[in-house]
Structure 1
Amino acid sequence: MDWSDRHCRYFWRLLSENAVLYTEMVTTGAIIHGDRERFLRFHPTEQPLALQLGGSDANALAECAALAEQWGYNEINLNCGCPSDRVQNGRIGACLMAEPELVRDCMSAMIERVKIPVTIKHRIGIDDMDDYDGLIKFVDTVAQSGCNTFIIHARKAWLQGLSPKQNRDIPPLDYELVARIKRERPHLEIIINGGITHLEQCETLLQEVDGVMLGREIYANPYLLAGVDQAIYGSNKPKPSRRQIMEQFMPYLEAELARGTRLNQMTRHILGLYQGLPGARQFRRIISEQAHKKGAGLEVVSRALAAVESGRSALPHCQ
């Protein structure tokens, strides 16, 4: 939430033509009662694109799914994995794993309402739920709705005692548990998530499951996404350089600035593009210090690019 907005996703799409992108989690209430344009608008180039919903009212979820289909989304995804107190209080996210029948009914309502795929993202368990028995019961119950795609974060969520940040790091990863689900339910599409940091790891995991989802690593080190089309999808196109990506992003920045979008709303998503390279610190510093100022424009990005190019001048073969 608050990260993979439309500006972020447009930037990511410049890195990969094939990866399926997911929106930030949007609650049903925000769509039904809030600024629909803000929450559902996207650029056509973002597709294939899934709308990730948060909610537990079957009728509201079905209404939002229908709206998403009308807006042109390719998939609806129900979030049953977020462990934050804020969403728990709204009966949203990982706490729903304790109510598999309710989740099944919510999924059924959406599946009956739309023609596009409806998928689910969840954890391997919550709190004292027995790891495998609890997980397989949840999956089997939800599958009764007709849902065929399960995106499984391979960590438990402890809803009491751990913060959302701690829930992303402290509970141990159990990839084998997710692989076991695939072996025992081969008719289901099983996608694994959690702690994946490089493409070689993706290729290894894809020998046991159907798909891999990356989140935080792509945000922190977005250039990793630039190799996905070649490594995972078999594309023969050359991997784009960081400079090429920025040259493609600049017209988007210019157009959005003309619409009144503030520069920092867009450039906050590109801070990790040069991660690990000489000049990366200067790139981040210039954007972080200048992009939020009133009237900041493309000159800030140009200065940041000049700084990173200067820092890398001794390494002419770097991309």
Structure 2
Amino acid sequence: MTSLMEKVAVVTIAATMPLVVATSASAEGEKYVLISHAPDSDSWWNTVKNGIALAGEQMDVEVEYRNPPTGDVADMARIIEQAVASGPNGIITTLADFDVLQGPIEDAVASGIDVIIMNTGTPEQAREVGALMYVGQPEYDAGVAAGMRAKDDGVTTFLCVNHAIQQPTVGERCRGFADGLGVELGDSMLDSGTDPSEIKNKVLAYLSSHPETDGILTLGPVSAGPTMQALNENGMAGDLYFGTFDLGDEIVEGIKSGVIQWGIDQQPFLQAYLPVVILTNYHRYGVLPGNNINSGPGFVTADGLTKVEEFAGEYR
């Protein structure tokens, strides 16, 4: 754990005062709320919860994580409104659907609450709603980088398994991947849903009806695991080029076994940890980074799994 904290300190040194002195300026009742679009069933967000909890402990502030249990973005908008009414010092939120969430976020800013956008959305959208900054991985740009990598490796046609079709920003990964490959997206983006059995069956059906497919992209652990099961079932595991967004235990095992070529690490720990540190130091000392922070994309392959495997699902 010591080595992990040393790494975090290096990453955040430009944006923070030394954490050891932060408690001396602690104000009574400092509170920050992180609101995500994630359903309760998505374990990938455990790393985000760990990030905000550790930042709260180190900065000596109260932190709270909230989300819509089913992933419903309209429900998320109501949660933002409720958070604003509670009067926290700052709100950290994803921007999963700009049209739905713009109003509540702008209302938070208008009420005097400092906001940082994390994970989903773009720096441009963060600026438009009046947020201080954006901390995350620009989804389209990450998709383009993944597509260019796949193109260099010989991929020409692909399937993108989208388990979060209701969140427009997630689909930008698929669109970016197609542009990186230099092909039309067409019907290559599959609305898989989140049920593991349905995902597996839909992937099997697509590959059966599109035998020319030579690459596959999943958008996180929710779809990666069932897709691996599909490839094991139809005998294509290890033969079909397979990349995925995000990390997790199953994805790490897939990379180790050679079924998955790479996973994109957007470092969700930093997406939660850094905003708490930044907001706290901004309120205490008036310091604020001058730029948005891109936490990804970083490609994790079998050659770089040591730390990832050690902390997968916890800090990676």
* TM-score between both structures, scaled by the size of structure 1: 0.30
Q: Which has the higher contact order (CA 8 A, sep 6+)?
A: 2
